[in-house]
Amino acid sequence: MKKIILTVAAFFAFGIGTGFAAPINNLANGQTAVGYLHDSLYIEHKLNNNLTLGLEKHDIYGQYAITNNIRAIIGSRDYHSDSSIYVGAAYNTSLAPNIDGYVSLVGSSDFAEAQVGANVNVAPNVDINVDYTAFRPDHGSDRNRFGLGATFKF
């Protein structure tokens, strides 16, 4: 456990990754997910039936489960300097046995971001994540990309 935490902390400290990269994970109460997607590590923990908190390099966020399939999202991008508070929503559903699909949309006065993806359960507590993310900043160039990553749940 200490090795996982130290590895995650090292990646955050050395500045790997940009943007909101975390997929929409289904976690059990008290479960933690550590994952990698779009050149970024993230960690999130489900505190109770409705609330999940997460952290990655540029984001600190919370997801509140409104129903089993719909979540409200609130977060702060670049929380360590000039931050931008964002809000959004996500929807997830089972697409096939061992495959969950999701769509999320978050935005602030500085950007809008949409993500569509799927989590494929390949082993107990291990998912492969595939997604497409469209990022539209108010200033600068749009960034659209496909991603492939993995999530470990414990």
Gap between the Cα atoms of 86 and 72, Å rounded = 11
- pLDDT digits 0-9 by tens, 66-118: 999 999 999 998 866 678 899 999 999 999 999 999 999 999 988 999 999 99
pTM over 0.85: no
- pLDDT digits 0-9 by tens, 138-147: 888 888 999 9
- H or E, element range at 77: strand 70-77
Q: Is the pLDDT of residue 15 over 80?
A: no
Task: Return the domain boundaries, the chain.
Answer: 2-153
Q: Which two tokens stand for residue 100?
A: 């969950």
Q: How far is CA 105 from CA 9, 32, 74, 90, in A?
A: 27, 23, 11, 6
- pLDDT, greater one: 14 or 150: 150
CATH topology of domain 2-153: Porin (2.40.160)
